[in-house]
Amino acid sequence: MNIRLPAEWEPQDGVLLAWPHTDTDWSTCLPLIQELYCNLIRQIIRFEQVVLVTPEPEQTTESLAAAGIATERITLCRAATNDTWTRDYGPITVQVNGQPVLLDFGFNGWGLKFAANHDNLVTRTLKQQGILRPVLNTIGLILEGGSIESDGNGTLLTTSQCLLSPNRNPQLSRNELEGAMQNLFGAQHVLWLEHGHLEGDDTDAHIDTLARLCPNNTIVYVACDDPDDSHYPALQQMEQELKTLTAPDGSPYRLLGLPWPSPIYDADGNRLPASYANYLVVNNAVLVPTYRDPVDNGALAMVALAYPGREIIGIDCLPLLEQHGSLHCITMQLPQGVLA
């Protein structure tokens, strides 16, 4: 049996999102965050479909219409949600003998930090409502989509801080987790990062905030160039780790360091996890978070080097930082053949 976890840059049917509503943590700033979602949806539907989970489809449709968004390429799914981080509770699609199969992992609020009773059911609800076409397999492991990166050819990149968290799968050792990734994803080459984190990140160092696998044996990563910044030691160590990694053919990766934005804080003075690595790849384009920072354009240019021939689109994601996430965190790509 040939199992493969496609890379994000492979052809897609659509992107999964969850609409912010009054029962999410966005309740205090709903108009602002819904405007951000409308801006994001407006860009995604230029390239592919959007699947939008919402407890109130009629009200959500009205909001989209008020924003001037045509809904022909939007499919709504009625479901309760705790929050909007679909990257971590949406389906992970593998190819088994060339056919898509959906994996539904357990989601426990990033190691029992937050309620996740509704979010953990979203993937099954999407399947029950006939929105997702392939077979759905429920997996008895806790795993979030933001914790793994795939090159589509058997290489996975992840962090030990997240995958070895005692509140996720404490019964499994590192070797046993690698074995699970081999069985579930066809991973032949698992790369672990031991260093790197962002202050304010609730995920225990998800890889999609730190380093991303890109086409042509390239890795884009966050690079801190300020020795006075609290992140500097750990991210310097991460950079050194990345320099030692090799592709399956033994060659070193081409490394592209992303600019380091100025510190951003919430109203209580807590640092927020701004990362340009948290971008989303869609058909023919890459949507990159921006933070109203002077280095935004440099980040767009660096991502463009990693994805030649694709349109690079900045999305103002500063409001997303208030809940400690960014663009990739609120999206999950649905590869070709997934949508009914």
Supply the pLDDT for residue 5.
98
Supply the pLDDT for residue 57.
97
Task: Tell me the one-letter amino acid at 286.
Answer: V
DSSP H or E stretch at residue 57:
helix 57-66
Tokens of 225: 């160039």
Supply the pLDDT for residue 97.
97
Supply the pLDDT for residue 151.
98
pTM for this structure? 0.98
Supply the pLDDT for residue 292.
98
Question: Distance between CA 310 and CA 149 in Å, rounded?
Answer: 20
CA 22 to chain centre: 23
pLDDT tens digits for 211-247?
Answer: 999 999 999 999 999 999 999 999 999 999 999 999 9
**Count of CA atoms in the C-beta half-sphere (13 A) of 30:** 10
Q: Are 14 and 42 in contact (CB under 8 A)?
A: no
Count of helix runs (H) and strand runs (E) in the chain? 9, 17
Distances (CA, A) of 11 to 100, 197, 247, 334: 12, 30, 23, 9
pLDDT tens digits for 253-298?
Answer: 999 999 999 999 999 999 999 999 999 999 999 999 999 999 999 9
Mean pLDDT (whole number) for 3-29: 97
Mean pLDDT (whole number) for 96-101: 98
| CB environment 276-296: b (16+ within 10 A), e (fewer) | bbbbbbbbebbbbbbbebebb
pLDDT tens digits for 164-199?
Answer: 999 999 999 999 999 999 999 999 999 999 999 999
pLDDT tens digits for 109-134?
Answer: 999 999 999 999 999 999 999 999 99
Q: What is the CATH number of domain 3-335?
A: 3.75.10.10
Question: What are the boundaries of each domain within the chain?
Answer: 3-335
Question: Distance between CA 137 and CA 110 in Å, rounded?
Answer: 21
